[in-house]
Amino acid sequence: MKDGRQLNIRDLDQVSKDHPVAVHHRGGHTSFYNPKAFEMADVNRQTPNPPGGTFDRDSTGALNGRVTDNAKSVFYRVGNRQSQTIENSGLDAAPTALDREVAGLTHISKMFARYGVTSVHHEGGNLPAMQKVRANDDLKHRISYEASGKELDAMIAAGIQSGFGDEWMRFGATSEHVVDGSFSERTMALSVAYPGTNYKGNVATTQGDLNAWIEKVHRAGIQINCHANGDVAIDMYLTAFERAQKLFPRSDARPKITHCTLINDDLVRRIKALEAVPSLFTTYAYYNSDKFSFYGEDLMKRCMAFRTLLDAGIHVAAGSDFSPGPFDPRMAIQGMVTRTGWDGKTWGSNQKISLDEAIRVNTLNGAYNSHEEDIKGSITAGKLADYVVMAEDLYSIPVDKIKDVKVIRTVVGGKTVYEG
Ligand SMILES: [Zn+2]
């Protein structure tokens, strides 16, 4: 809000008293609702918080409108939503729904090329639309497809494992299986309370459920990927994976830890021992610096810990988390090298890395994350010719200008897919 306070239920009551109103944070873990929406969802000041989520309240105990993580699900079950897009609707999709998916992917592929992105790990998405865009010759980036839900069930049933596909579209790790809340929205699961509160964040699952899911997917020969931000969630994930590896050992499994935001020495040791591949927020250091005061400098020294993880010999990769975070690799690299945000504030400067390292995290380590380091990630004879030409030498300009350097050419498979 302009005056720096948080949006609340009274603001949204003014928008409508007759219609439910929701405002979603771009991070995807928190939303704000008006009284009509709470009424329809049958939530009032007496309603207890469900496991892994909260109906936030003001100092008098009244609902303040903010709802976090698992508590949001009650709103999905009430009211009608007009939608032309049937998610993951496959071949049965109405023509308009598939057309919209094709148009959307065609557009975003063009954007990726414009920003110099040549490979993307896609969190789900419509497979028929992806194939159609490719058939139309409009696919400008390579896809590592991360399945969940019925696509993942189908992979397991059909015996499709990570790596199946070709150099343009292949099944990668699973999509993020959610273990805790969000970093930018301040709901990730911490072992200590958020500074100035007694709140420790949201754990979205139980250890038992997580163990069972990981065992099932690991057994099927599919690379695991969990969303784990806080130290509590990372511990739960590693515990579940250590158990699965003991039951069904597989070498080079590379369990992917999406976000892996707050680490400690013990977690780093276990990540290394499992040869896990963390994929950390990259653009956040620049883009979300105004949120870091909620954690404070002590915790920020262990957040997005590129320096610590690289020093431990861990193949840490870049994770834009688009659309919650911007995907521009130039902004990412600048933030990783400077740890300074748009507001000029620097947090956790002990985790700065060199430009060489930042480029490696955004290229070779990303390829390693999806078992593709033999064909991409560096300009090497025998690898796919995927590369970007920049207007200036990143090594000879001030580090706070990296995000503004123009991409003048993006090449995928030896073919120019963008020229600026
Ligand atoms: Zn996530």
Final residue of a domain: which of 152, 175, 198? 175
Q: Residues with Cβ within 5 Å of ion ligand 1? A: 176, 227
131 CA → ligand 1 middle, Å: 25
- The pLDDT score that the predictor gives to residue 190 is 98
Same domain, 61 and 107: no
Question: How many C-alpha atoms does 194 have within 13 Å on its Cβ side?
Answer: 19
321 CA → ligand 1 middle, Å: 7
- The pLDDT score that the predictor gives to residue 405 is 98
Domain annotation covers residue 2: no
180 CA → ligand 1 middle, Å: 9
User: DSSP assignment, residue 72?
Assistant: G
Same domain, 69 and 122: no
Can you give the residue range of the structural domain that contains 13?
Answer: 9-76
**Angle CA 324–210–252, to nearest 5:** 85
- The number of folded domains in the chain is 2
- The pLDDT score that the predictor gives to residue 99 is 86
Please list the pLDDT of the chain residue by residue as tens digits (420 residues): 889 899 999 999 999 999 999 999 999 999 999 999 999 999 999 999 999 999 999 999 999 999 999 999 999 988 887 666 555 455 555 557 788 889 999 999 999 999 999 999 999 999 999 999 999 999 999 999 999 999 999 999 999 999 999 999 999 999 999 999 999 999 999 999 999 999 999 999 999 999 999 999 999 999 999 999 999 999 999 999 999 999 999 999 999 999 999 999 999 999 999 999 999 999 999 999 999 999 999 999 999 999 999 999 999 999 999 999 999 999 999 999 999 999 999 999 999 999 999 999 999 999 999 999 999 999 999 999 999 999 999 999 999 999 999 999 999 999 999 999
Domain annotation covers residue 278: no
Domain annotation covers residue 55: yes
393 CA → ligand 1 middle, Å: 33
267 CA → ligand 1 middle, Å: 19
Domain annotation covers residue 111: yes
Same domain, 16 and 47: yes
Same domain, 53 and 125: no
- The pLDDT score that the predictor gives to residue 95 is 59
Final residue of a domain: which of 175, 207, 233? 175
Same domain, 131 and 159: yes
For the entire predicted model, the pTM comes to 0.94
Domain annotation covers residue 155: yes
Report the distance separating Cα 211 and Cα 243, nearest Å.
8
Final residue of a domain: which of 129, 152, 175? 175
280 CA → ligand 1 middle, Å: 10
The amino acid occupying position 239 is T
Report the distance separating Cα 106 and Cα 339, nearest Å.
33
Domain annotation covers residue 117: yes
253 CA → ligand 1 middle, Å: 20
Domain annotation covers residue 228: no
Domain annotation covers residue 64: yes
178 CA → ligand 1 middle, Å: 7
